[in-house]
Every structure is written in C-alpha cells, then in structure tokens.
Amino acid sequence: MYKSIYRWRLRHMNETTFVLLLAVAVGLMSGLAAVALKTLVHHAGRLVGTLAESGNSYIIFFFPLVGILLTVVFVRYVVRGDIGHGLPGVLFAISRNRSELPPKHMYASLLASTITVAFGGSVGLEAPIATTGSAIGSNIGRWCRLSPKSVRLLLGCGAAGAIAGIFKAPFAGILFVLEVFMFDLTATTALPLLISALTAASVAYFTMGTGVQFSFSVEAPFSLSQLPFYAVLGIFCAAVSLYFLRVADAVEGWFARRHNPWLRAVLGGLLMGALVLLFPPLYGEGYSSLTALLHGNPDALFAGTFYRHLGASPWAILAVLFALILLKSVATATTIGSGGVGGTFGPSLVLGGLAGYFVAMLSNTIGLPLQDTSNFALVGMAAVMTGVMHAPFMATFLIADITGGYELLVPLLATSAVTYLCISPFERHSIYARKLAAHGDLLTHDKDASAWHLLDMQSLIETNFVIVRSGSRLRDLVDVIQTSRRNVFPVLSDDDKFLGVIVLDDVRKIIFRPELYDTVIVDDLMHPMSEGDLVRNSDSLSDVVEKFRSGERYNLVVVDDDNNYLGFLSRANTFSAYRRFISDTSEE
C-alpha cells in the first residue's frame, strides 16, 4: 500500500505541492504535541502540588531531586539512549546529518521535560516542544522519501508549528525558524512555514481557547521621552544575558566533570531543592510569578517564604528581584547539567521580565520619572531573549502577539537592538549555536562560508596515486607507470615522509630508453613541492580553496603535521563537492 501511494504521488503530484500538503499535517501534529505538553505539565504539576499541600511544607525540598532522578531513569531505561541536546542537536542535524532526527525525538523530549518541570525543574518547555516538532517534520519527510532540501523544510515547519502552538503566535514561530535555525526566507520556505504555523496555532486555539501564556493587555501608553530609560534597560538586559550564558557554561561544565550520572542527579536535585525552598519563584517554569508581576502583584514573590513579612518594602522587593535574576540562571543550568530535560527559552523570558521590572521599580524608587513596571517587564522579556537567542525580531513579535497588540513595538525594537549591539562583541552566536560554531558544525545564512566550514576534507582526499620510493631507479618507475591510471607519482622516503612528485610528462622522453633504466634515479626526476603546493590535514577547506585560487594548481598534496603523505586534493572534486553542498542547502 505504501509503495502504491508513493508511485501515485510521483505520477500525479510534484514535490513542491506535496510539501505544502505535508506542511498542514506537520502543523497539525506539532500543534497537538504543544497542546499535549502543556496539558501534561498542567495536570502533573497539579498532582505534585496536591502532594505538597497534603504533607509538610518543606517536602518541596525533595521534589526537584525526585524529578531529576525520574528523568534520568526515563532517559536511560525507557528511551535507552541519549535523546540529544535539544535545539543544538537539531541545528547539528541540519548542518551535518541531512536534517535527519531519530524517531524517538518525537516523544522523548516531550515526556522527559514533563517530568522535569512538573517536579520543579527550573527550565522551559519551548525547546523540548520545538525539538519534538522538528523531529515530526524530519521523520515525515524521510518516510515520504523527500529530497534533503524538503526534509529540512519540513523540519523547520515542525519547529515553527511547535512554537506557534505553545504561544498561539504563528508569526513568532516563523521568525523562530528564520533566526534561530537560520533558514533563508524565500518563496520556497515562506508558504510551507506559514501554513504549518497557522495550522498549529489554530489547533491550539481550538483546544485551549483564546487565552495565551500571559494574557496581558498593555494599558500605559508609550512616550518617546521614555526611550533613554529603555536604552538603559537594553544595556542591563545585555549584562543579564551575558551573565546567564557564562553561568550556564560554568555550572553545566562543573556537572559534566562529575562522570557518575546518579551523583550528578543527586547533587543537582539537592541544590535545586535548596533554591526553591528559599526562593519559590524558581520552582518550575516561573511563569506564574512573572504573570503576577505583570499584573502589579510583586508580593507574590514572597508567598511561602520565611521573609514574607518584608513584602511591603520596595527595597525588599528590589533585593528579591535581584536575587532571582542571579539565581534563576544557576537554577536553570543546575537542572540541565544534572540530568533534567528542558530548555532555556522559557528561563530567558522569565529573566527578562524580572530584569525589566527591576529596572522600572528601581527608577521609580530612587525618584526618577515614573515608569510602567509591566511595560518594562514585557520589553525586558524580549531584550533578554534577544541577548540569549540572538533573535530580536522573533522576540519582538512574540511579545507583541502575547500582549495582543503593537503598542510597545517601538520600545521593543529599540531595546532589543541595544541589547543585541551590546552583547554581540562578547557572543557572536545564540546559546543554541555557539558551541556548534566553535567546532565548525554550524550552517549559517552565509552558505558560501558554511560550505567550506562544513565539508569534510578527509572525504575529498584521493588516495589512488601509486607512490614511488626515494632511491628507486627508472626501471621501478616504469613498472609503477604501467599499473597507474594517474599521471602524477608522489615520492616518499622509507619512513613515508613526502619528498616531491614525478610528473609523467617529464619522463616520456626517457621511458622508452631501456639503457637508462638502471642508471637514472627517480630523485633526479622529482619536483620538490613548495608550501603553496602542500595542504596540512589540520588546515581548513577555506585555506585549500585559497591555494587553488591563488595559482593554476589542479592538485594539492595532503600531508600531516609530521610531513607524512596522505593523498591529493583535486580542484575539480573540491569544487564539485562545494556545488553539491550549495544545491542541497539552497532553498530555491
């Protein structure tokens, strides 16, 4: 039946039209996955909350430990293998693995993140659902035997649908794919992404109503006189973003050096328990506390704490806000580093809301012109997301969709721009892409540069050249020529050190003179090679291309750092591989 359907599709429908139909299916499934994730976390969280209410209030200390341990058990013994590193794993698949994601990614991240967050893990659900949507699109494309370009496009449709479904913000889902996954906006990509995002958002509206994550409407108008204060907010959010990234590196690196997974889980669970016991807003995603701030209720930050009597003091609120800004980064990195599953999308939103509220309240407390704390919190959310994810347009339009209007469009864009400009000298790539970029595994909008970074030079080395040993006589060279299909012969020493080459054209005149076979030594016929003719296997392909372009060279000798011969790189094969790469990754 599958073969019959496949043959019918090949006869009656081209791939472009088929991808548009599949974009609807991918959007539908991604939207349902987003709804399922939010529903699962909601009910699991209520169940865990009931357990907390029925027992001692300090039992919350053990919840993150239980959640992380259950997540580790699920990954090791149910999934039976690594479920990847979330969105960095998706970016790696796009760059290096023909956009192919294992089928287990369609459910593993979704279920594992549910366990982690329901028990208080301080991570977000957006990255796991985006990974789930990407895997849905990738596997549908592979099952339908589509080309690598179409598989990649459906992967992007899945991610766009997942983000659109979880926030009911289709435009934000599209921009997420364009900025975070670095897709090019072309006629080929625009319509499928739009179809998938709209389908997923419609599913979310149909199943969960019209309310969105924060359900907040902007009331205080924006004035141009406030722009300097929003610029200060942008600088502060850049500092918060950089702090978040550095803390993530340090904490996750510390846990990575603890090689026993159970030790990591116990240490991380106990640390998270202590953090949520002292600062309950660090429990779970943190959206409930952020919603309370947006609605002008900062006292919610003190509920259930031993310092709740300080809630009426503005300076106490500022102190708690600042502590949460510092510790949210630690809590997120601890949850992920110790074995929990979740993303940094949600934490960056929460951090931004805390930072924006902090700046506005500090301004109001010290007697500067009054600023609306809710507006600053919303703009701060977009700014920190910009700093962490390097996605200013996605962050801007996500907040605009959340608030149901564009009253804050100017401060959103201005603040995000300031944050982006301030953090770019310190971090050129997003939190998802920077490690891949450091290893040369990132596909960017610059396809030409990406091609030379991502092509595997080792696979292009030709080794079918017959070697000649130094000291050999012309007789030996004649025997070698008879068995070779190439007209170049590398000359090596007895310990495989490269010495030079012999070109067939140079020996044609003496090859038919048997009286010279035992008197002429190949070293006399050898051409020593200059550095311009040599390539080290540690060189990048961009260096190789520069050598090809700087002269009329058609072959380059490849040696290792000890000058041992490895093979040849040909101009024709290298540029053919480049053209294939551009063809596979081009959207048109």
pLDDT at 442: 66
Q: Who's near 232: CB < 8 A, 6+ residues apart? A: 359
pLDDT at 463 (0 to 100): 84
For residue 503, the SS3 value is strand
**The tokens 């959007």 sit on which residue?**
27
pLDDT at 214: 57
Least confident of 133-142, 212-221, 264-273: 212-221
Chain-wide mean pLDDT for the chain?
86
Q: What average pLDDT does this structure show over 67-87?
A: 84
Domain 451-585 bears CATH identifier 3.10.580.10: yes
- Of 260, 254, 306, the residue nearest 280 (C-alpha): 306
Helices (H), 366-408: 373-389, 392-403
- Read off the pLDDT of each residue in 232-257 and give the average, rounded to a whole number: 94
CB 556 within 8 A of CB 544: yes
List the structure tokens of 576. Answer: 């053919």
* Whole-number Å distance between alpha carbons of 353 and 122: 15
Average pLDDT over residues 298-325: 84
pTM, rounded to two decimals: 0.81
Query: Cα–Cα distance between 40 and 288 in angstroms, integer?
Result: 17
Across residues 235-254, what is the average pLDDT?
Answer: 95
Asked whether residue 251 carries a pLDDT value surpassing 90, the answer given is: yes
Query: Mean pLDDT lowest for which of 112-116, 372-376, 429-433?
Result: 429-433
Give 491-502 pLDDT, tens digit per residue: 998 888 888 888
Work out the number of other CB atoms within 10 angstroms of the CB of residue 290: 26
Whether domain 224-259+274-444 has CATH 1.10.3080.10: the reply is: yes
Query: What's the mean pLDDT in 170-174?
Result: 91
Burial class (CB in 10 A: 0-12, 13-18, 19+), 523: middle
| Inter-CA distances, 420 with 231, 238, 241, 385, 423, Å | 12, 7, 10, 10, 5
Between strands 488-492 and 498-503, the pairing is antiparallel
CA distance 403 to 378: 9
Lowest mean pLDDT of 61-70, 314-323, 341-350, 426-435, name the range: 426-435
Q: Going edge to edge, which strands form the sheet with 555-559?
A: 534-536, 555-559, 565-570
pLDDT of residue 311: 66
- Tell me how far apart the alpha carbons of residues 60 and 588 are, in angstroms, rounded to a whole number: 53
Rounded distance, CA 137 to CA 159, Å? 8
71 with 243: CB under 8 angstroms? no
Q: Is the pLDDT of residue 393 over 90?
A: yes
CA distance 238 to 421: 9
Beta strand 468-469 with 488-492 is parallel
Q: How far apart are CA 275 and CA 338, in angstroms?
A: 15
Share of the chain above pLDDT 90, in %: 37
Q: Where are the alpha helices (DSSP H) in 259-372?
A: 261-278, 287-294, 314-337, 345-365
Note the pLDDT of residue 3. 77
pLDDT digits (tens, 9 = 90+) for 552-579: 777 888 888 888 888 888 888 888 887 7
* Annotated domain spans of the chain: 2-208, 224-259+274-444, 451-585
Question: What span, in angstroms and rounded, lies between the C-alpha atoms of 237 and 351?
Answer: 9
- Residue 444: pLDDT above 70? no
**What's the pLDDT at 356?**
95
Q: Which residues pair with 568 in a beta bridge?
A: 462, 557
Among 227-231, 237-241, 446-450, 512-516, name the one with the lowest average pLDDT.
446-450
Q: What is the pLDDT of residue 242?
A: 96
pLDDT at 504 over 90: no
CATH annotation of 2-208: 1.10.3080.10
Query: How many C-beta atoms surround the C-beta of residue 415 within 10 A?
Result: 34
Cα-Cα end-to-end distance for the chain: 32
Q: In Å, how far are 299, 300, 306, 315, 317 from 311, measured between CA atoms?
A: 5, 9, 11, 9, 6
Give the CB-side neighbour count of residue 361, counting CA atoms within 13 A.
Answer: 24
Calculate the CA dihedral of residues 222, 223, 226, 228 and round it to 10 degrees.
110
Q: Report d(CA 364, CA 370) in Å as an integer.
A: 5
Percent of the chain whose predicted confidence (pLDDT) is above 70: 92
pLDDT of amino acid 44: 83
Q: Can you tell me the distance from the alpha carbon of 4 to that of 13, in angstroms, rounded to the nearest whole number?
A: 14
Nearest to 137 by CA among 199, 184, 186: 199
564's torsion region: left (phi>0), alpha (psi -120 to 50) or beta?
beta
pLDDT given for residue 191 in this prediction:
92
Give yes or no on whether 224-259+274-444 and 451-585 have one common fold: no
> Average pLDDT for residues 221-228, to the nearest whole number?
87
Q: Which residues contact 519 (CB under 8 A, 6 or more apart)?
A: 473, 474
pLDDT for the residue 202: 93
Residue 175 is encoded by which pair of tokens?
A: 């921009």
Encode pLDDT of 261-283 as tens digits: 999 999 999 999 999 989 989 99
CA 453 vs. chain centroid, Å, equals 17
CA distance 369 to 470: 84
